[in-house]
Amino acid sequence: MFSISLLFISLLLSFANCKPTVNNISDLLPRLLLISFDGFRYDYPDIYTLKNFRSLLDRGVRVQHIINSFTTTTFPNHFTIVTGLYEETHGIVNNIMYDPILNASTSFDTMNDTKWWSQNSYSEPIWMTNELQNNNGKVETKRRSGVISWPSTGTPVNGHMPSKYEIYNETRRFETIIDQIIKWFKDPNEPINFGTIYFYEPDHTGHIYGPLSSQMNTTLQYCDQLLGYLLAQIDNDPYLKQNLNVILTSDHGMTEVDEKRTLKLDDYIDSSLYSAYGGLSQMNIFLHSG
């Protein structure tokens, strides 16, 4: 799978000389919002007309590409993004996997067990790193993290949970996720200084219709509207406009495949000789012993 995704970094520090207007409880803290649009191929803003992605790009920094870690699927790469560890180290090697040491397999419903995310004591999501930097517990420099829908949300990683979180909910509108994370950044009493949110599109559309399709255009127009909704909330708030940095990224890209050019493993290898876990772009195959 071709696997280049995008990374935009927007530094919204255009009024560096103004004093914060809303709240200065934690002025010394950097503020960062990390957003992932799953499966957002690096060149979508060049292929499709996406006004808000373009606007972010024009006032920020765009990296040309990222080399993903392998495997290029949702859970492995999202955990790599927040821990800085490769899959073989953090142990999330696929969306659906079997682990011979744990003698257990996963599904979307059982991935909320801490044993999957705490396989290595070095696994430390950035929301945990942020909170571990608290300055002797002084209230005025209290770092708090807020996490919504990011893979592993709601599961303790090596015993740690972010101050604020909401677990993945398929039927929830992404606008309400944006509203919530912004509310946490603006909370007068317990503001977060690091927030991260995840959206499952355009990956879903890419898997069904491919990256170059009218359906992808429709989905990307929606993603662009969502980004516009977020940027408007930041731009309309003098405090956030002045203090919030935004990183927009993705876990992997998307390429076209020809459904006529396929090989069926079962036509060549006796399926009783192995067990397979995974699906979509990758599978893990375990040969039976004997």
Ligand X SMILES: *[C@@H]1O[C@H](CO)[C@@H](O)[C@H](O)[C@H]1NC(C)=O
Catalytic site positions: 74
Nearest to ligand X of 46, 235 (CB atom): 46
24 binds ligand X (CB under 6 A): yes
Residue count at the site for ligand X (CB under 6 A)? 14
Spell out, one character per residue from 124 to 163, where the chain touches ligand X: x when CB under 6 A holds, - when not.
----------------------------------------
Query: Stretches 18-26, 73-81, 194-202, 228-236: which one binds ligand X (CB under 6 A)?
Result: 18-26
CA–CA dist 192, 182 (Å, integer): 9
CA–CA dist 142, 31 (Å, integer): 12
CA–CA dist 229, 197 (Å, integer): 14
25 binds ligand X (CB under 6 A): yes
* DSSP string for residues in 150-217: -TTTTS-BTTB--SEEE---TTS-HHHHHHHHHHHHH-SSS--SEEEEEE-TTHHHHHHH-SSSHHHH
CA–CA dist 65, 44 (Å, integer): 12
171 binds ligand X (CB under 6 A): yes
Nearest to ligand X of 45, 247 (CB atom): 45
Query: Stretches 83-91, 107-115, 142-150, 263-271: which one binds ligand X (CB under 6 A)?
Result: 107-115
Query: Stretches 2-10, 164-172, 201-209, 252-260: which one binds ligand X (CB under 6 A)?
Result: 164-172
Query: Stretches 22-30, 32-40, 116-124, 196-204: which one binds ligand X (CB under 6 A)?
Result: 22-30
Spell out, one character per residue from 205 to 224, where the chain touches ligand X: x when CB under 6 A holds, - when not.
------------x---x---
112 binds ligand X (CB under 6 A): yes
175 phi/psi in degrees, rounded to 5: -60, -35
113 binds ligand X (CB under 6 A): yes
- In what helix (H) or strand (E) does residue 130 lie, and over which residues does it extend? helix 126-132
Q: How far is CA 134 from the centre of its chain?
A: 24
1 binds ligand X (CB under 6 A): no
Q: Which of 48, 75, 116, 185 binds ligand X (CB under 6 A)?
A: 48
Q: Which of 21, 134, 169, 215 binds ligand X (CB under 6 A)?
A: 169
Using CA atoms, how far residue 126 sits from 49, 84, 135, in Å, is: 33, 9, 17
49 binds ligand X (CB under 6 A): yes
Pairing of strands 145-148, 61-62: unpaired
CA–CA dist 103, 178 (Å, integer): 38
CA–CA dist 185, 32 (Å, integer): 9
172 binds ligand X (CB under 6 A): yes
Minimum CB separation of residue 129 from ligand X in Å reads 23
Q: List interacting residues with ligand X (CB under 6 A).
A: 23-25, 48-49, 103, 109, 112-113, 169, 171-172, 217, 221
